[in-house]
Amino acid sequence: MNALSVSTAISTGRVNLITNRQRSLTVARWRALWLAMVFVSIGAVALVRLAFLGVSDSATTVTSLEQALLPPRGEITDRNGIPLARAFPAYALWYNPEALGESGAPLVKSPQQVADELMAIFPDLDREELVETLDAGKATYLRRRVLPEDANRVQAIGELALEMPHENDRHYPQGSMAAHALGYIDASGNGQVGMEQVLDERLKDPALRGQPVALSIDMRVQGALEDELRRGMLSVNAVGAAGIVLDVDTGEVLALASLPEFNPNKIDVEGESYMFNRVTNQVYELGSTFKPLTVAAAIDAGVVRDFGRRYDASPVPIGGFTIRDSHPLGATLNVPEALIHSSNTVTARIADELGAKRLRQTMIDLGMNERPYIELPARGFPIWPGKDWPRIRNMTVGYGHGIAVTPLHLASAYAAMVNGGVWRPATMHKLAAGEAPRGRRVFKASTSARMRQLLRMISVYGTGRSADAPGYRVGGKTGSAEKPGAGGYRRSSLISTFAAAFPMDRPRYVVVAMLDEPQGTTASSFQRTAAWNAAPIVGNLVPRIGPLLGIRPDDARDVDISDLRPLIGGGGE
């Protein structure tokens, strides 16, 4: 190779090198340009987004870690911090027939076989309905509120169509206990019936839902009340029962029970039929439990001064009717005897002397003419006699007929009668010291003191003897009233009630127990009356709840009834 060829080759190589460099530089420039265009596009999108947020009403939501960890709904506790309602992560059983594809069968096994395996896990399911649902191939929930261990068993069946999605659920650790006070959460997450409905916004508020809401309920007292009410209801085959324990000084509801109850963890057709609250929503003629209220009004007005005065106890003919006692009680009775033996005729005559205007005003002062004062949404309106009471209406109201109120009305009235004479509204909230409302005075303190004596005498010598729990100084009054029906009162249907307070030397709590249509036995029809069925409920309940509430039995203490005891026939024996 000569020098010219070498020179030409070198020149060609340099040209090729320059060309390659230029090509590479061009490619790099295009890449940089494309990259710049990508960044410009991203920036443009960001600017458009910012502009959209700037002109729209939507704002960016900032969720703190604390808020993210909070449950979607706040917790409810009893007065001692025991959880009554709380949110917890759970599973649902969802049937997805398209899990294996649209063209194939939704299940590997037969619907009958899958249904049998699910029934082994959830025996309360309806097999026929379950087989029909699986065979129909329509997506739906098969069950809500599935426990983790049950979810594992469902997955072990091996059917992809049985899905177990996570969901936040509302759980009631105490089951059906205090169901009417608590209520429940519907499928939309909204509170229904009880305090769940009342506190709905408060429990959902992100700023407040981390703080539990304490109710006035004491679950120890609640459990005892429901247990004794249930026993009493079943023993006389009653269709229902109601009970309440109320603090006489603050109006706090320590326990509230309406039977039959429902389970807020499982709302079904049967449960829905039991949601009616007999304590706050159903009104009843509560019969002779009104007699002490009438006597208190008469004492307060000065109509009854001499407790030894003998009243005519014969039947009272008035307005084409005759007021009688359930059985002959003698020709005359004084006030203590009239209450001890539950005389309709003497109470009617006392109400007549008092007059309709004054008795009516006392009932108004006790809240008997309006819905009961409490936070619960279900509050029944009384059957109120109206403005102008004729003479016969005044007499019948005096012994608890012709007026219908809720058991809560009665409990609040008894609290006023024994606490010194001050009526206060009931509340489902736990109150701190000094938070009790001032209330309104209905009776003089001296009248209240007399009524404590008289109520104690009823439990010692009269119809309330089966409620006289030893050492707890119980005082109260029975009431057995026929239920009204078409064409008059139904003799075969009674409302049996016992309203009481304890301890009577320093009343702390009112207890009301009521049975709806108790049935007598072939041995005795007397078991239908309150002295035989409602009063024993209170007698069994008080020794169970007294120590829990700081009240211990003491046989050395009692309310002094020495000035009234000689007025009872036979010295009170």
d(CA 177, CA 222): 7
- 395, 318 in Cβ contact below 8 A? yes
Contact 350, 398 (CB under 8 A): yes
Which amino acid, one-letter code, is at 81? Answer: G
**Measuring CA to CA, which residue among 203, 207, 168, 248 is closest to residue 426?**
248
Beta strands in 17-139 (DSSP E): 76-77, 83-95
What CA–CA distance (Å, rounded) separates 216 from 78? 6
Q: Which long-range contacts (CB under 8 A, 24 or more apart) does 550-554 make?
A: 551/472, 551/502, 551/503, 551/508, 552/471, 553/469, 553/470, 553/471, 553/472, 554/471, 554/503
Other beta carbons within 10 Å of 222 = 25
Contact 565, 340 (CB under 8 A): no
Distance (Å, rounded) from C-alpha 434 to C-alpha 249?
11
HSE of 181, CA atoms in CB hemisphere, 13 A:
35
Instruction: Label residues 313-336 b or e (16+ Cβ within 10 Å = b).
Output: bbebeeeeeebebeeebeeebbbb
Q: Residue 395 has which token pair?
A: 């007499």
- For β-strands 76-77 and 213-214, DSSP reports them as parallel
Task: Please answer whether residues 289 and 397 qualify as being in contact, where contact means their C-beta atoms are separated by less than 8 angstroms.
Answer: no
| CB neighbour list of residue 503: distance below 8 Å, 6 or more residues apart | 472, 473, 474, 551, 554, 557
Distance CA 271, CA 232 (A): 21
DSSP 3-state of 219: helix
* Amino acid found at 413: A
Name the residues annotated as catalytic.
288
